[in-house]
Amino acid sequence: MNNPRLGYLGTGLMGGPMVLNLLKAGYEVTVWNRTASKCDEAVAAGARRADSPADLARHSDVVMACLTNAAAVEAVLFGPDGVAGVAGPTLFVDFSSMDPEQTKAFGARLRAANGMGWVDAPVSGGTPAATSGTLTIMAGGTAEDFARAEPLMAPLAQRVTHMGPAGSGQMTKLVNQIISGCTMAVVAEAVQFAKSSGVDATRLTEALAGGFADSKPFQLLAPRMATESFENPLGTVAMMLKDLDTVAEVGGPAAPLPMTETARALMRVACDQGHAEEDISTIILTLKGMA
């Protein structure tokens, strides 16, 4: 398929900049968001605004989505005026994160409804990578569906890896979130330790750069935590907690998760304290309050 028309559902923190990169790459993009005003920047950049997911599907060859959770994905696909009721688009590429079994069930349900293929393609890298087009994407789906989706993801990512059949991308994302979520909690603990001990926490990224303690999450989050500057969220506490909750649901006796459980507990308290929709860096405020 040459120059496919793209539809994109969900233009929030991650989806918004991803759409802008697709437009910059020369794709014709139709957008829809439950809160219509969140499409304004994409429309100003040249996207077409759809009235509903079904309207979007009627103007698209490939539909993409980056939504909050499985319930949101199910609503845009199978709810009133959903994508599943439209004949025409041939592929759905889902950048959202959810339970792998739900992904497989939704994929089978969509294929039965209108014949669309499915690629689960959750992303990593946060809003900076979404903006720069350097996301890391781990994908699941048939070899044929992935081959059709891969070139469409090139403007969005520095790396796209086909991990296997449907659900494999989501399972790999859970692995990513175990590492990322636990690292975020540890970085918050380390920065709070430094601040309480009289160390200049604003210099930690400089001092530890290149050593074993260094990492991309550390470089991005430690300065925000050190100065308690939480504007322009990299990702919210609620989104990370959602993914770690999914890890706990999917894991079993063969996969003990002591570190993940500790990170989950910290993030759950942060949400209870009112930080759910704030930047993930705000978990340091919860630790500060425990002092």
Instruction: Give exposure, 153-168, as e/b (b: 16+ Cβ within 10 Å).
Output: bebbbeebebbbbbbb
Contact 50, 59 (CB under 8 A): yes
Q: Which residue type occupies 226?
A: A
Q: At 157, is the secondary structure helix, strand, or coil? A: strand
- Catalytic residue list contains 38: no
Contact 222, 209 (CB under 8 A): no
Catalytic residue among 104, 173, 195, 242: 173
Query: Who contacts 197 (Cβ-Cβ below 8 Å, separation ≥6)?
Result: none
Query: Who contacts 83 (Cβ-Cβ below 8 Å, separation ≥6)?
Result: 9, 53, 54, 56, 57, 63, 76, 77, 89, 92, 110, 114, 116
Q: Which residues are catalytic, by number? A: 173
